[in-house]
Amino acid sequence: MSETITSFVGLDVHKDSTAIGEAEAGRENPDLGQLLKALKSLGKPETMLVVYEAGPCGYGLARQLRSRGYSCEVVGAGKIARRPGERIKTDRRDALTLARLARSGDLVKVIVPDEGDEAMRDLSRAREDGVRARLKARQQLKALLLRHGHRYGGKSSWTLAHERYLAAVSFAHPAQDIAFAEYRQAVREGHERVERLTEALRTQAEHWRLKPLVAGLATLRGIDFVAAVTLTAEIGDFGRFAHPTELMGFLGLVPSEYSTGDTRRQGDITKTGNSHARRVLVEAAWNYRFPARLSRVLQIRQEGQPKAVREIAWRAQLRLAHRYRRLSSRKLHPNKICVAIARELAGFLWDIARQVKLAT
């Protein structure tokens, strides 16, 4: 930037309005054209820093302002300092607060993803929503069966044998048969939706610039294709983390802490940052309760990968499987063990990402 920034502008962005805050002025306008006109009245784009909170309105506004020469940053809403005694909240005050914090350099910016990366993240989250909807439909169907004394005696639900059992179920009243049929249809539709979205992920990943990173992460035990896509789409550029502990903090896997003087107290994990990626890592951590081994499925996923990546994946198995057994011998709760394993697994993700060469 050739000129020094002399104007700091905060935007409180909503679906139907955008409040603009500068030191002495504020106004509301949802239209981009009128917003640009208002910004123009505050100064030149080269001398202005515009900030707004990350929220449901996404990154479109930041991209549009940047394309017009403005320096625009999106900031994390949870990282904004709030005065404890403040009891008045308006959009204009929020925008002015952002402007003042931008001037003092006290805002934590959010990385605005590439449009292609954001599209893959949207598709990944759509599949995640589909999985949750399918689970809900299955729970509702099982609840109906349980209420009326129908209990499946097989080992696993949602198999071909379970489907044959469901086909033979009948109820005393026709209304209950209709309800049962609708629940079964919802389960089928939920399953088909997940399958469609999974196939769409595979198709779109073939043309994604981060495809090599997906393949690299999938060499790790517990990280299949869907998990690798989710982690890549949610985390994005691993290069912005100078050390693996920064990635662990981003994922909310580090313990909270309250220390003063000679006293140091650590509590539960912070759970800040990206919950989607954190969930995938904790689920993957369960796989390390078994001894280290290179299964046939894992061998297939590792085919064609650099030797350095495969060596990191094997070191991860040896380290994490041993650590799981050690923590388990201390009688820790399995959930705590999995969180500890997930935290270390994040470090191996970071290491593999450093080895993967992406197309420029």
Domain boundary among 110, 142, 165: 110
- Provide the pLDDT confidence category of residue 304 given band limits of 50, 70 and 90: very high
Asked whether residue 318 is domain-assigned, the answer is yes
In a domain, 295, yes or no: yes
The arithmetic mean of pLDDT across residues 182-201, rounded, is 98
Of the residues 90, 110, 130, which one is the last residue of a structural domain?
110
Structural domain total, the chain: 3
139 and 41 share one domain: no
pLDDT tens, position by position, 222-248:
999 999 999 999 999 999 999 999 999
Query: What is the pTM for the complete model shown?
Result: 0.87
- CB atoms inside a 10 Å sphere around CB 78: 10
Q: Is the pLDDT of residue 80 over 90?
A: no
The residue to which tokens 């820790």 are assigned: 332
Q: Are residues 18 and 81 in the same domain?
A: yes
Residues 216 and 345 in one domain: yes
Q: What domain range includes position 329?
A: 211-259+266-355
Would residue 345 count as lying in a domain? yes
Is 322 in the same domain as 217?
Answer: yes
Do residues 270 and 206 lie in contact, with contact meaning Cβ atoms separated by under 8 Å? no
| Residues 153/100, Cβ–Cβ less than 8 Å | no
Domain membership of residue 1 (yes or no) is no
Residue 179 and residue 216 in one domain: no
Together in a domain, 142 and 252: no
Q: Are 5 and 71 in contact (CB under 8 A)?
A: yes
Classify residue 2: in a domain, yes or no: no
| Same domain (yes/no): 13, 136 | no
End-to-end CA distance of the chain: 24
- Of 50, 84, 110, the last residue of a domain is 110
Residue 106: per-residue pLDDT: 82
> What is the spatial distance between Cα 11 and Cα 7, in angstroms, rounded to a whole number?
13
Q: pLDDT at position 1, please?
A: 47
Most confident of 14-28, 102-116, 256-270, 291-305: 291-305
User: Do 87 and 219 share a domain, yes or no?
Assistant: no
Q: Looking at residue 96, which CATH number applies to its domain? A: 3.30.420
Q: Where are the extended beta strands (E) located within the chain?
A: 7-13, 18-21, 26-28, 48-53, 71-75, 109-110, 255-260, 263-269
Same domain flag for 104 and 136 = no
Asked if residue 360 belongs to a domain, the reply is no
Tell whether 249 is covered by a domain. Answer: yes
Q: Per-residue confidence at 23, pLDDT binned at 50, 70, 90?
A: very low
Write down the pLDDT at residue 172. Answer: 94
| Same domain as 338, residue 223 | yes
Q: What is the pLDDT of residues 312-331, one digit of tens each?
A: 999 999 999 999 999 999 99
Is residue 102 located within the same domain as residue 119?
no
* 247 located within any domain: yes
Whether residues 195 and 250 fall in one domain: no
